[in-house]
Structure 1
Amino acid sequence: MEKSPFPTEDMALTTILVVSEMSRAKDFYQDVLGAEIYREYGGDSCVIRFLGNWILLVTAGGPTDDKPDTQFVPPLNPENVSHSFTIRVKDCMGCYETLKERGADFLTPPVDWGAEIRAFFRDPDGHLFEISQA
C-alpha cells in the first residue's frame, strides 16, 4: 500500500475549544472578535471562521468510541494555560480599545516591552488570547 502525501494543500487545521455555554461563546466570537459563524450542529457545536482559521466550539462531553478515556471540558482554571492564541496587529492600543468597547475582558492594558506591545484577554470560558504589535 502506497503512503498518502501529508500534509497536502487541500487540508485545513481546525482548533477545538470546549465551552460551557454555547450561546455565550457564539456571542463572544461573533460580536467581540468579529468571527463568522459557518455552521452549527444540534446546539452543542459551532464552526466559526476567524482570520482565515477554523475554530470548532463544542460543549463538554465524555469519551466516545474514537477517543476512549478522553473527556472534553472547558478550562478548569483560567490561570493555568496550556495553549493560547496570538493575534498579530498593527495598532495594539487601537485594537485594545475596540475589543474593550465590544466587551473583551483584558488582564491589563497593553504593555510596551520595547520590541513588542501586547495585551491579553480571555473568552467567556477562560481561553487566552493575545493581541501583539511588533
Structure 2
Amino acid sequence: MTAPDSFPAAGVELTHILVVSDLARSTSWYRDVLGADLFREYGGTSAVFRFRGAWLLLVTGGGPTEDKPDVTFAPPDQPGRVSHALTIRVPDCRKAYAVLVARGAQFLTPPHDWGYETRCFFRDPDGHLFELSQA
C-alpha cells in the first residue's frame, strides 16, 4: 500500500492515448467492434472510452503545444512496425476471436496455440495493434 502523499496514490488511473486519423470512424470501431463504452467526446477532436477497467483516449493528430513543445501526435504510418500494442487477456481466445470477427475486426491470423498461450492479433482502423491472449 502506498502512503497518501506518494505517487501513485489512491485514485490515480492510467489512460492510453491512441492517435487516429478519422475520429468518427474510430469511435464507431471502438464502440461497435471492440465493445468499449463511450464515456465522453470533446469537440470533434477526441473521444474517451472505458474498456474493462481501462481508459482509452482517441485523439486526432496535432502539432506541438506549449506543454509538449517537441511533440507531434500522428497515427501509425507503418502498420508492420510497432512501438506499442494493447493486450486483452481473455478466458477463451477462440471464442473472443469469433465474436470480434463477427463484429468486423480484421485479424492478422486466426488464434495460434503456443502451448503455454493461445493468441492472435488485430488492428484498429489506423493500425494500432491489439492482441487477444489466453494463458
TM-score (norm 1): 0.96
State the 1:9 CA deviation. Answer: 1.1
Return structure 1 stretches of 4+ with deviation > 6 angstroms.
Answer: none
Aligned equivalents of 2:76, 2:25: Cα separation in 1: 15
SS in 2 for 1:86: strand
Which segments of 5 or more consecutive residues in structure 1 lack a partner in the other structure? Answer: none
Instruction: Write the deviation string for residues 22-66 of structure 1: whole angstroms up to 9, x where unpaired.
Output: 011001100011101101100001111001111110000000000
1:110 aligns with 2:78: no
Q: 1:52 aligns to what? A: 53
**Which structure 2 residues correspond to residues 1-134 of structure 1 after superposition, within 5 A?**
4-134=5-135
Aligned-residue sequence identity (percent) comes to 62
Deviations 1:65-93 (A, max 9, x none): 00002100000101100000111111111
Post-superposition shift, 1:99?
A: 0.2
Given residue 118 of structure 1, which amino acid in structure 2 is its aligned partner? R
Once the two structures are superposed, residues 109-129 of structure 1 have per-residue CA deviations (whole angstroms, 9 ceiling, x without a partner) of: 000100111000000000000
Q: Which amino acid aligns with 1:96?
A: Y
Amino acid of the structure 2 residue aligned with 1:23: A
Paired letter, 2:10: E
Q: In 2, Cα distance between the equivalents of 1:77 and 1:54?
A: 25
TM-score w.r.t. length of structure 2: 0.95
Structure 1 counterpart SS, 2:31: helix
State the alpha-carbon separation in 2 of the partners of residues 10 and 69 from structure 1: 30
Provide the aligned C-alpha RMSD in A: 0.7
The residue identity in structure 1 corresponding to 2:9 is: T
Q: Which runs of 5+ in 2 are unaligned?
A: none
Q: Note the C-alpha offset of 1:104.
A: 0.4
Q: How far apart, in 1, do the equivalents of 2:39 and 2:6 lie?
A: 28
